[in-house]
């Protein structure tokens, strides 16, 4: 994909998520690998609903900013995923409401944040690691992701929002939407004792769809 087409796709997908209320105001950030190994990144203080393809932050393969506006302050999150997951072609971070709400529940499982309610989050995300609260922009968030040694494609920042890496921009956006949908189901059914997938069913999904799933 050409850089021009990638710029347009980043902005189109970001606006779609903004229009559907998956992140609001100037929250959230998004990045994708360019064909030469550089990065296109949403600038700091920008809205997903109004990203300008020409003003995306542009980094060369050595990590130098060579064009566009200054990048999001959450760059440590993005670079940590690119450095630890060789398959990462894009990273998306949202402030989606239901996933943030679920992260605040006292019984949230740090090692496997999403309950197994449907097969789709398992297929697209594997296990989601719940990380503790960090101040926005704190480089320690990147250190926490590096500490996972590339074993997770998605993390949930407590009281903040999800971060997902995918093989390309479309895959990353699809996966983070699935994360939010599953969190919404979890909050909607909370206290109602829903019938979750059994461990045997989860195991079947992991095997059938070759899911990364560290025990």
**Residue 88 corresponds to which tokens in the numbers above?**
């990462």
* CB distance 154 to 111 below 8 Å: no
Nearest alpha carbon to residue 155 among 145, 169, 142, 146: 145
Nearest alpha carbon to residue 49 among 4, 76, 18, 3: 18
- Across the chain, mean pLDDT equals 97
How far apart (Å, rounded) are the C-alpha atoms in residues 202 and 101?
Answer: 24
The percent of residues in the chain predicted with pLDDT above 90, rounded, is: 98
Average pLDDT over residues 63-86: 96
Question: What does the longest C-alpha to C-alpha distance in the chain come to?
Answer: 53
Average pLDDT over residues 21-41: 96
- β-pairing, 129-131 vs 29-33, is unpaired
Nearest alpha carbon to residue 189 among 118, 137, 83: 118
pLDDT above 80 for 32: yes
Domain boundaries, the chain: 3-208
pLDDT attached to residue 113: 98
DSSP code for 168 = S
Which residues are catalytic, by number? 74, 120
How much of the chain is in helix, strand and coil states, percent to nearest 5? Answer: 40, 15, 45
**Residue 78 corresponds to which tokens in the numbers above?**
């993005």
Average pLDDT over residues 60-84: 96
pLDDT attached to residue 215: 66
pLDDT attached to residue 16: 98
Q: Which ranges of the chain would DSSP assign to H, the alpha helix?
A: 3-19, 75-84, 97-103, 119-125, 140-146, 169-188, 199-208
* CB distance 31 to 7 below 8 Å: no
Predicted model pTM: 0.96
How far apart (Å, rounded) are the C-alpha atoms in residues 171 and 88?
Answer: 10
For 147-185, the pLDDT digits (tens) are 999 999 999 999 999 999 999 999 999 999 999 999 999
For 99-140, the pLDDT digits (tens) are 999 999 999 999 999 999 999 999 999 999 999 999 998 999
**Residue 121 corresponds to which tokens in the numbers above?**
């989050």
Give the architecture (CATH level 2) of 3-208: 3-Layer(aba) Sandwich (3.40)
């Amino acid at each position: 994909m050409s850089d021009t087409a990638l710029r347009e796709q980043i902005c189109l997908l970001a606006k779609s998520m903004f229009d559907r209320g998956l992140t609001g105001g100037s929250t959230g950030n998004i990045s994708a690998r360019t064909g030469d190994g550089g990065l296109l990144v949403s600038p700091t203080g920008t809205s997903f609903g109004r990203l300008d393809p020409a003003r995306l932050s542009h980094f060369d393969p050595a990590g130098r900013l060579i064009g566009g506006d200054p990048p999001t302050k959450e760059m440590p999150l993005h670079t940590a995923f690119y450095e630890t997951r060789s398959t990462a072609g894009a990273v998306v971070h949202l402030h989606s409401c239901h996933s943030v709400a679920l992260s605040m529940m006292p019984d949230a499982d740090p090692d496997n944040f999403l309950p197994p309610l449907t097969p789709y989050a398992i297929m697209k995300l594997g296990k989601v690691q719940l990380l503790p609260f960090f101040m926005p922009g704190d480089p320690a968030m990147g250190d926490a992701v590096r500490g996972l040694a590339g074993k997770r494609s998605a993390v949930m920042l407590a009281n903040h929002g999800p971060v997902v890496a995918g093989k390309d921009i479309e895959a990353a956006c699809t996966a983070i939407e699935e994360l939010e949908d599953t969190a919404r189901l979890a909050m909607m059914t909370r206290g109602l004792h829903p019938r979750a997938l059994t461990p045997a069913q989860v195991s079947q999904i992991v095997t059938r769809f070759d899911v990364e799933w560290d025990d």
